[in-house]
Amino acid sequence: MPEQALASTTDVWSQLIVGVVLLVLFALLAKRATHRVVVSMMCVGFVWVVTYLTPFHLISFEAAAAAVDLNVLMLLAGMMAVVGVIKSTGGFTWAVARLTSRARGRPQAAAGLVAWSTAITSAFLDNVTTVVWVTPMAMRLSKRMRLAPVALLVPMVLAANLGGTATLIGDPPNVIIGSGAGLTFMGFIRNVTAPVLVMMVLLQWYTAWYYRDAYASARDAVPDETVEEPELRDPALFRWMLVICVGIAVGFFTQSLTGTPVAVPAVIGAALALVVQDWRYVRRHAPTAEERAHGILRVIEKDIEWPALSFFVFLFILVGAAVHTGLASSVAGGMGWILAYVRDALGLSDRNTLLFAALATCWVSAVISAIIDNVPYVMVSVPILAHFIPTIRGETDVLWWALALGVCLGGVATVPGASANVTAMRLAREEGVEIRYPEYSRFAVPMALLGLVVASLFLVDFVLVGGAQARTTAWLAALALVFVEVVRARRRRAALGR
């Protein structure tokens, strides 16, 4: 059938069908009735049944293929492969053990080191993968320190989410926002990293207060040496990976100069990592034909999360249906009408109207992301926001930063809000530690609200004073708080005589 015959219909019924499908998707994902890949595949299958067997053409196969964002998929796959090769060297376990050994029997210091190392790693690698290898180490550390595991694990999970928010590549929602809005790696560094640093320091203070009794009791019981430092399984490959990761980072930081999509340095780095790993494997063994591809295939089959990438593909198709039928523009038009009504009712200036839109985007995104996984919400929100932004005046990039911060902080608040949370709780359960959802949220919700206050102050400064001044203020505040935290940590260490 000619492609013209299957151009998407834009009538109200087509938009209504797509809207209902998306609502069903969100409901099933929130209920966790079955695997999210099955849910998304079922929804895409229904959309194509309607498209090809009824007069309502929601999205053709050809249009669906064009709707899939290859930049997002290739970036995630490339970084997953890089992480897989590093993991094979034992580098992650070695690095975390080296850091936590510095705590030397100080539970609060150990919690801080675990949180900061998790956040920094999550900023440059996928935060879900980060919690996969940090969680077992944190579990072992808590046992040796006789510390309640929750006092290490829950702050670590929040740090993974916050660290992932700091950069374009650290969290899947940021990857989607960056690709959909055309934002750069350095754009995230300039605008989002500083507020996240402020939140990280506040997380350390809040953690020390909330778990003060757990840390005190563990400190009384803990021996002086608490962490065994494992050896690197392949030091030479680890050194190779450090060089490759530096090259990838250079590619990210120079993206605005070279004009390359962020997926390009990630894929190049992944290819080099796999080649070096395979070359070293062949040098050290006399492999059979089957073993010849062992090193590479293990990473490709086990470490690249194909179910997650498949889920993203189906979500892109559903979001494409929303765009092609005009649902995204209709929702954006409705948002514009509401904003105009509020502006006229309250007599807001253009600047205050933008501020209202930014704060609403941040807080509404946080509430929704606390209920459902933030990835599908972001995928739907990006095209809607892209249609909405041209209707208002000012430095409208602030709306993208509001979306990124809101989605992160909402995902922090509850276990289902982010994939990193679900993964960490599952790994803890496999180790015999059950952290119930209410127990997690009692700690996480106040921290999420505190983070939203920080984000709101940044957005207010950005809109009312200007983006450049807001960035300067945020970085000065972040560096000052980090300095204060370092001084406090040194004083605590001196007070304990360690």
pLDDT for 383-409, tens place per residue? Answer: 889 888 888 888 899 999 999 999 989
| Structure tokens that stand for 476 in this block | 């000065």
Residue ranges of alpha helices (H) inside 389-436 are 398-413, 419-430
Q: What would the pLDDT profile of 211-269 be if each residue is shown by its tens digit?
A: 888 888 776 555 545 445 667 788 888 889 889 989 988 888 887 788 788 889 989 99
Arithmetic mean of pLDDT, 64-82: 86
How far apart are the C-alpha atoms of 262 and 130, rounded to whole Å?
Answer: 20
Q: Where are the alpha helices (DSSP H) in 9-149?
A: 12-31, 36-53, 61-67, 70-88, 91-101, 107-124, 127-145
Average pLDDT of the segment spanning 11-27: 89
pLDDT per residue as tens digits for the range 339-398: 888 888 888 888 999 999 999 999 999 988 888 778 888 888 898 898 888 888 888 999
Q: Burial, 67: exposed, middle or buried (Cβ in 10 Å; 0-12, 13-18, 19+)?
A: buried
Residues 6+ apart with CB under 8 A from 185: 167, 168, 169, 178, 252, 253, 255, 256, 262
Least confident residue range of 86-90, 152-156, 402-406: 86-90
Give the CA distances from residue 220 to residues 54, 106, 223, 331, 488, in Å, rounded to whole numbers and listed in that order: 71, 10, 9, 58, 21
Residue 3, pLDDT > 50, answer no
pLDDT band at 278 (very low <50, low <70, confident <90, very high): confident
Secondary structure (H, E, C), 249-286? HHHHHCHHHHCCCCHHHHHHHHHHHHHHHHHHHHHHCC
Q: How far apart are CA 170 and CA 158, in angstroms?
A: 13
- Distance of alpha carbon 187 from alpha carbon 164, whole angstroms: 15
- Work out the pLDDT band at 297, boundaries 50, 70, 90: low
Question: What pLDDT was estimated at residue 1?
Answer: 41
Tally of residues, the chain: 498
